[in-house]
Amino acid sequence: MHIFDPDVNFACSGIIAQGMGPAVGAALSRKMRGLPGVAVAFVGEGAVNQGGWHEAMNLAAVWNLPFICVIEDNAWGISVAKETSSAVTNNADRAAAYGIPGKRVEGNDPYAIYEAAGEAIARARAGEGPSLLEFETYRLAGHFMGDAEGYRPKGEKDALFEKDPIPKMRARLLADGVASEDELTAIEGESAARVDAAITFARESADPAPEDALTRIFAA
């Protein structure tokens, strides 16, 4: 969960909405140093009621930063249904509070996501400031392995499996002749092998020493 890869400028935290501040900070750093680049923070629909989320959105807008916040609305935050935690159905409407563009997009359609992301990235690159995107999808699995999902109305998700974007995209790539069955199977195999190798690496690596918690915190 606390994964980090400086080679691709990626960081992740187990604390909800925690990534907003560092992402806005990264955008500010780029702007101050005159460097290209767009910072993107991904959060769940359950994260948008955290105080830090609003503070980060506000500063990104006030400072006109190359920043995009992507909200993945999967209808659930662990066992809390969206409508019981937010009075707003369309989180993209919240963009008005910061004077920036906001868009709610069909989150199970990679082409729609590509298009909306492209617009927001072009805007950020042109120095026109941040955008808010909400991708509407649905959480088909439990929140964690072994989640009995007793909080979810029975049958709620049954009809939603047909919207699962991964098999849908696979079928579309085949239908459009973009890739063959063999090519897709090979890509799936390579992806599974990369995940297996990462798990093996993690399992076989030594635990960090306790004193390592005090190092590299403020490293450049």
Ligand X SMILES: Cc1ncc(C[n+]2csc(CCOP(=O)(O)OP(=O)(O)O)c2C)c(N)n1
The catalytic site residues sit at 139, 143, 151
Residue 173 partner contact from ligand X, Mg ion, none using kind-dependent CB cut-offs of 5 to 8 Å? none
Q: Which of 44, 66, 129, 130 binds Mg ion (CB under 5 A)?
A: 44
Among 53, 67, 76, 135, binds ligand X (CB under 6 A): 76
- Residue 16 found at the interface with ligand X (CB under 6 A): yes
The contact mask relative to Mg ion for 107-146 (x = CB under 5 A, - = no) is ----------------------------------------
77 binds ligand X (CB under 6 A): yes
Whole-angstrom distance, CA of residue 106 vs CA of residue 136:
5
From residue 68 to residue 87, the character string flagging contacts with Mg ion as x (rule: CB under 5 A) and all else as - is ------x--x----------
Q: Which is nearer to ligand X, 94 or 123 (CB)?
A: 94
Closest to Mg ion by CB, 74 or 131: 74
Nearest-approach distance from CB 207 to ligand X, in angstroms: 23
Tokens coding 103: 């868009």
Residue of 137, 129, 145, 4 whose CA lies nearest to 67: 129
Cβ atoms within 10 Å, residue 109? 19
Pattern 116-145, ligand X, x by CB under 6 A: -----------------------x------
Contact predicate 66/31, CB 8 Å: yes
Query: Residue numbers of the site for ligand X (CB under 6 A)?
Result: 14-16, 44-47, 72, 74, 76-78, 139
